[in-house]
Chains A and B, each alone.
Chain A
C-alpha cells in the first residue's frame, strides 16, 4: 500500500473512529436524558419524603403491642404513598419514610432511640412506643430536645407532661373507670383479686386504679399480688389468691406474660371471670396461648375492630391479609399517629419541628378511620376525645360489646 493510500486509510479509519465515538456520545447523552430527565422534570412535582422516627417493643413481652403499632403505621405510610402523598395547604406534597426501631421492652433503649431520632434533623417527629415503660421516660426528653413525640398505645398515668409529648390512644384513666362500672354490674363483682406486673407502668397504674375505685364502685380488693416481667411461675401468688375466693380477677399484665398468668389461673381451677385493659384479651395471641382460657373475659378498647363496619371493616380485612398478627386497637393507634403527624404538616405547610409542636398543642382532627384526636397541652398530652368500648370475649376473634 502506498503512503498516500495508507494516510487516506488512516484518516478514513479515524473518521470512522470519530464517527463511532460521536455516535457513542450521542447514544450516551440520549440515554442519560432518557434516564435522568424525567425524574428531574418530575422532581419538581413529586412528593417530598419526610422521615418519621418510630420506636416499638418489637421483641420481648410487649412485642404483640409494638408489632401492631408498627404495622398500623406502615399501613398509613403505604396508603399515603399509594395516593401520591398528602398535600399541605400550599399544595406541596409529602410522603413518609419511617424507622422501625426495637426498644426490646427496655426503657433505657427507648430513651436512646428517641435521642437518636431527635439528633437526626431529617426526622420531624418520633412515634411510639406503645408500652408505657418505654413511652413515659421519653416524655421529659421530648421537651429537653424539642422533638415532637406522638405516642400510640401507652396508657399509664403521666406525672409531668411537656408540651412536646402527646398520645393519640385512649388512656387508662379514662377507659378503666368506664369499663369497671360496666363489668362490676354485669359480673356482680363484690370481691376482686388483682395480679399485676410491677415493672410495667401501665399495668401498675391499672392495679392502683382498681384500689382507688373500690369504694366508689362497691367492691373489695381481696388479693393484690405482684409479679415481674419474664416471671414463669405464678403458683405462689395464685395459691394465695385462691384462698380469698374472689368473684373476678383483674389481670394487669402485658400480653406476653399475661398468657402465662391466665393459663396458670385456669390450671389452678379458678374459673372466675377475668378483666384486663388495653384490648388485650381480644388479642388472638391470648386466645391461642391460653387455649381459650380468656373466654368470658372483659376488656376495653378504642374501636371494636371485630364488629367494625364500613371503612374500618375494610381496613381491618386488608390489614389482616397483609400482616401475620391480626389487627387490634394498637394497629389503629399506630395508623392514627402517622395521620396525626401528617395533619400537623398539612396545617404548618412544612416540616419544621417547632411548627408541628405548635399545631399539636391545640389540635382537632379526625383520622381517615374516624378516630377523633384532639389535644390541649398544657396541661397534658392525652387525647381529649377518645372512644371507649367495653367488650366481653366470646371466642377467638369474637367478642360482644357490653358497654
Chain B
C-alpha cells in the first residue's frame, strides 16, 4: 500500500508538469494552428533564466520564478514576432520546420552558452521530507505541484472568464469569422504565445528547483510527453489535457512500480496508439484545423 501511495504521489507530481507544458502546446495549436516545437525549449530557456537570476541576483524563490517567467516570455514573444507571424497562412510544414529549427538553435545555443551537462540549480527552497519515512513527499515536490495547479487554474480562468480567453476560443472555432467580428487575431496570437511561454517558464523554474539541476536538453523529455498528452486528449477542452497529463504521470509511475521500469515509456506510447486508433480526434475532441 505504501508503494502504491508513493507512486501515486510521484505520478501526480510529474503529471502536473506534463500538464502545464501540454496546455502550452494546446493553446498555441488552438489559436495559431501550428505545432510549436520550440515550446519545450522555451520551457528550458525559462529554467536557465531562473538559474541565472538565482546565481547572480537573488536565490529568493519568487525572484527566480519571476525571472524564469520573463526569460521564457521574452523568447516566446520573439518567436511569435519573427517566426510564427511571418509564416502565418503559409504551408503548415514551413511553420513546423521553422519552430523545429528554433528549438535546435535554442538547445545547442544553451548547451554552448551554459554547459552541455546539467548545471546545479540555486537552492531557493529547503528540501525537507513532509510525510513519513515510508512515503516521501519533499517540500520541493509539494511546491512544484502547487505551482502547476495554480498555473492550470489560472489558464482555465483565462480561457473561460476573460475577454481574451473568449477571443481565443472564438479563433479556435472559426478564425475567419472571429476576425470578421473584430477580433484582433494578431494580438490574441501574441497574448496566447506569451501566456503559454510564461507558464512554461514558471513551471520550468519549479522543475529546476525540484530536481536540483537545469539542463539544455530538458525540453525534449517534457516536449514529447506533453505532445502525447495533447494528442490523446484533443485540444477542445483544456481540462481534458490536464486530466490526461495527470493520468499519464500516474500510469508511468505505477508501471515502473509494479511492472518494470523498462516499460515506463511503452505505456505512454501504447495509450497514444490506442487512442489515435479508436478516437483520432482525441478523447475529448479537437477543433477543426
Contact = CB atoms under 8 A, between A and B. Distances in A.
B184 interface: no
Given A59-B116, A267-B127, A268-B136, A237 B261 contact: yes
Counting chain B residues whose Cβ lies within 8 A of the other chain, the interface size class is 35 or more
Interface residues of A, number: 37
A232 interface: yes
Contacts of A67: 116
Given A225-B261, A239-B136, A255 B221 contact: no
Chain A interface, >50% SS class: helix
Contact of B220 (A230, A255, A256): A230
Given A67-B116, A243-B2, A259-B117, A235 B253 contact: yes
B213 interface: yes
Interface string A258-300: 0110011001110000000000000001001111000000000
A226 B117 contact: no
B117 A267 contact: no
B269 to A, nearest CB: 12
B222 interface: yes
Interface string B222-257: 100000000000000000000000000000110011
A233 interface: yes
A290 B127 CA distance: 14
A232 B118 CA distance: 11
B3 A239 contact: yes
A108 interface: no
Nearest to A285: B117
Nearest to A225: B261
A60 B136 contact: no
B252 A256 contact: no
A301 interface: no
B221 A230 contact: yes
Q: In this complex, which of B13, B118, B262 has the most chain A Cβ atoms within 10 angstroms of its Cβ?
A: B118
Interface in B174-209: 207
B111 A232 contact: no
Interface string B97-130: 0000000000010010001111110010001010
B213 A289 contact: yes
A61 B221 CA distance: 13
A246 B253 CA distance: 21
B120 A289 contact: yes
Contact of B111 (A59, A235, A259): A59
Given A226-B262, A239-B136, A256-B116, 7 more contacts: A59-B116, A232-B211, A233-B14, A239-B7, A256-B117, A263-B118, A269-B136
